[in-house]
Structure 1
């Protein structure tokens, strides 16, 4: 029995040694088969139009750093945001869910509660699950807190509760109060002896406004922007206190750039996701003096030039830190362009021959293509072969596509896996897409666009943009008529019925 026992013991020892060696070999093979996960960065512009980049046809303005992304990556000529306004698009890109499914996903005041459910899957939450550090720098505008926010304490829930380890944001937009930066839920630089009060209903006693005190403003309001004055600029909403924490508008681009660069440097040793949401060219357009007057097109042109420089500096940081070739960059805009959007800033008068919407019809707020078709670029030096793609892609699809890239099984509710398209391996793209503009929706299928009948103004006279409203159905062949000039609804009833049927299936 002793001999048998010893024999069995020796056999077991050799077996264990063999298995141990095999495990090490398998681990090496797994490591070699799965190289380091790439860093992922969204560079998200605000109100940048399809025709605002020279890479997309602009001739009156030069955007060399944005163009470098287009020329070095996949430049999509059929890439869409989900919506023609900012809050819904930001909801869609982070959740992979159509914003029209959420009744609260519309342009929000600065005091709105968070509209992303903390149980909702998001791009940063998915990437956290795959070992990524996650951060946001820049514009948020998806609501904060649960209502009745006390800005003098930690504001929660917010970005940190929906997947971001680090957040450095403005609460809403540059033209809305509170005009302060918020770092991981806390107002940056707040003096506790000078608390902040914010209201979107009535002014605080003794506080000047753009409406009643125009002599205190350095930027004249055109429509809607006539409440509290900060840095000479009248805003939307009323604010009192927090003087030490108020941002400097002309330094905002540089300030966010420094935070984004710092984040990259601190996280470069591990895979990270950065949602870098620039504020340009949204109003108020406040270019740093280095850029003011440089384009001859007024502040709107100047802040696009400033944003292009900012992107160039950010790309230099990625290169200097040695991580450019292991970083996937997605560049896009939240919606189409608008020129006069609340201030007299000469942007309309000095526009000259520049057409922010390019060959497209409409703009911000519109169901026509210029409302939602935006610059859309994927860039990954050494991995993506530069090319142009006419595949229909949407920001919705980034959640599921990036999950496939990093080995996650997460799928967004309305998000499609278009990883091959984003990496330039396929030109197929989406077959159909529902798009939204101020709660109205339209439909794209293949090369066709269908807009249902809607009551209301045909043109938003304040911003001089066609909204897409009509008493009749509209049908356009985008391949032959990208400017949507010829309505084919009456002459192509079969195609119209096909699109209406498919659209109603999704909407219902």
Structure 2
């Protein structure tokens, strides 16, 4: 078998998984060698910068088809690396997907992952569970999380209890962008385990912190999880401090957590124009961080992964997908995903390989030379061979379970059960919008996919009654 070069991702052209567009390098050079997370010319393993948008829909970037949203920085990132068209979140809501990223496992493997999403102080990611950060830390990485955690509150849960050396951000799932009042009705901006006062627009605050982190002199490779809250509601842009103050006043006057949620949800607010402004501010923020990375001299050997935590919501541009956040139709789980690693992966590529959040955990661990904990086996499949040697991924099922829905994808086939309990079968290759239900025509295939879903579901924790 011929060797595939270190920039071999473009070598999959013609295999049906990836399209190399103008500028991609040729693939093969000499005899094959097994992949290893070997040091680059700098003598260091890759830095890992993982950036999440919040409730960002699959087509909310101009490079994914949005006709009215301009995202030049993320579009440039896509040109410099790989844009994935069939990438999925680990779940249809915020915290379960974060559980799947941090653990590399289905959310239903852990009690905290059953919350959809985490909503009170009794729920969270058990600090004893190995995480992406704790495993990389054992392998010699510095680790930091900046932004939204949403895997539990103090005193029992925190990024610094789960493997991150540093934390600057919010514990909850949502907060008012200026006052920093969160879903529990309390102030929710912390440095480590201590409150940090800053009443400026939250996206700006997080961007400054991330710029500072990547610009430091680092003596070891690092992992930075940069989790923006943009463009999650309340729909506020940097010039909307007055509206933010009105929302904050409602939060302070609330007499229950439900009333806090109503105030934060901003039901009568937002618009396509406001949402566009927020997505474009996210793009600008990512651009600032990437500029800082370039100035630091670390760009070549830093793997940047950008994605969203779930599908879009009210103002997202999701065409042609059906559904949105909370449901397992394509609009609720298919997310924009971009990877760039100049030292090892060529740019100008588009991948159509189906993959989901736990795959990235397995991939990052392998690329960093870190080992999963055998007591907590991963549910994701490493993409390292696919990315670096042009290997085909094994046939596998992508699995999702939420209280209201179930879904499984195998190749182009998708099994979906809706909230009414009706089973559906779709051919996503011909019907991305999930309108032509083929369940009556292919009962044997439906039964096969349903049985596969049931086998996996039987290994997960049951939902509490």
TM superposition score normalised by structure 2:
0.77
Rounded Cα–Cα distance in structure 1 between residues aligned with 2:295 and 2:280: 23
Q: 1:267 to 1:180 in 2, by over 3 A?
A: farther
Q: CA deviation at 1:285?
A: 1.9
Question: Does the Cα contact within 8 Å between 2:50 and 2:306 map onto a contact in 1?
Answer: yes
1:308 alignment partner, SS class: helix
Q: CA deviation at 1:437?
A: 3.8
Rounded Cα–Cα distance in structure 1 between residues aligned with 2:95 and 2:404: 12
1:125 pairs, out of 122, 134, 139, with 134
Matched, 1:39 2:50: no
Rounded Cα–Cα distance in structure 1 between residues aligned with 2:450 and 2:217: 48
2:330 pairs, out of 356, 369, 379, with 369
> 1:188-267, aligned counterparts within 5 Å?
188=196, 245=197, 247-248=198-199, 251-267=201-217
1:94 pairs, out of 102, 111, 123, with 102
1:38-71 deviation line (CA, Å, top 9, x unaligned): 1001100100001101111111111111111111
Aligned length: 381
2:80 pairs, out of 69, 72, 78, with 72
Paired residue for 1:202?
none
Paired residue for 1:174?
175
Matched, 1:410 2:419: no
Question: Does the Cα contact within 8 Å between 2:126 and 2:157 map onto a contact in 1?
Answer: no
Matched, 1:436 2:401: yes
Paired residue for 1:326?
301
1:148-207 deviation line (CA, Å, top 9, x unaligned): xxxxxxx4441101110000011212252323311111111xxxxxxxxxxxxxxxxxxx
1:424-468 deviation line (CA, Å, top 9, x unaligned): 73453662111234563211111111113xxxxxxxxxxxxxxx4
1:9-29 deviation line (CA, Å, top 9, x unaligned): xxxxxxxxxxxxxxxxxxxxx
2:275 alignment partner, SS class: helix
> 1:446-485, aligned counterparts within 5 Å?
446-452=411-417, 468-485=418-435
> 1:283-322, aligned counterparts within 5 Å?
283-289=233-239, 297-322=272-297
Rounded Cα–Cα distance in structure 2 between residues aligned with 1:430 and 1:46: 30
Q: CA deviation at 1:262?
A: 1.4
Deviates more, 1:91-100 or 1:430-439: 430-439
Rounded Cα–Cα distance in structure 1 between residues aligned with 2:61 and 2:396: 27
Q: 1:31 to 1:400 in 2, by over 3 A?
A: closer
Question: Does the Cα contact within 8 Å between 1:37 and 1:271 map onto a contact in 2?
Answer: yes
Q: CA deviation at 1:498?
A: 1.3
> Could you list the runs of 5+ residues in structure 2 that have no partner in the other structure?
1-37, 177-182, 243-269, 459-465
Rounded Cα–Cα distance in structure 2 between residues aligned with 1:422 and 1:32: 16
Deviates more, 1:330-339 or 1:257-266: 257-266
Q: 1:422 to 1:376 in 2, by over 3 A?
A: farther
1:198-239 deviation line (CA, Å, top 9, x unaligned): xxxxxxxxxxxxxxxxxxxxxxxxxxxxxxxxxxxxxxxxxx
Q: 1:429 to 1:315 in 2, by over 3 A?
A: farther
Rounded Cα–Cα distance in structure 2 between residues aligned with 1:424 and 1:337: 33
Rounded Cα–Cα distance in structure 1 between residues aligned with 2:40 and 2:147: 37
Q: CA deviation at 1:499?
A: 0.5
Rounded Cα–Cα distance in structure 1 between residues aligned with 2:118 and 2:420: 29
Tell me: higher relative CO, structure 1 or 2? Use CA pairs within 8 A at least 6 residues apart.
Answer: 2
Matched, 1:401 2:401: no
Rounded Cα–Cα distance in structure 1 between residues aligned with 2:171 and 2:391: 38
Rounded Cα–Cα distance in structure 2 between residues aligned with 1:57 and 1:410: 37
> 1:380-391, aligned counterparts within 5 Å?
380-386=341-347, 387-391=349-353
Matched, 1:420 2:382: no
Q: CA deviation at 1:321?
A: 0.6
Matched, 1:359 2:367: no
Stretches (4+) displaced over 6 A: 30-34
Matched, 1:275 2:251: no
Matched, 1:51 2:59: yes
Matched, 1:503 2:446: no
Rounded Cα–Cα distance in structure 1 between residues aligned with 2:394 and 2:70: 29
1:325 alignment partner, SS class: coil
Rounded Cα–Cα distance in structure 1 between residues aligned with 2:327 and 2:353: 22
Paired residue for 2:146?
137
Which one has the largest radius of gyration? Answer: 1
Question: Does the Cα contact within 8 Å between 1:84 and 1:436 map onto a contact in 2?
Answer: no
Question: Does the Cα contact within 8 Å between 2:112 and 2:151 map onto a contact in 1?
Answer: no
Cα RMSD (Å) of the superposition?
2.5
Q: 1:372 to 1:267 in 2, by over 3 A?
A: farther
1:69 alignment partner, SS class: helix
Question: Does the Cα contact within 8 Å between 1:85 and 1:437 map onto a contact in 2?
Answer: no
Rounded Cα–Cα distance in structure 1 between residues aligned with 2:395 and 2:232: 29
Question: Does the Cα contact within 8 Å between 1:391 and 1:430 map onto a contact in 2?
Answer: no
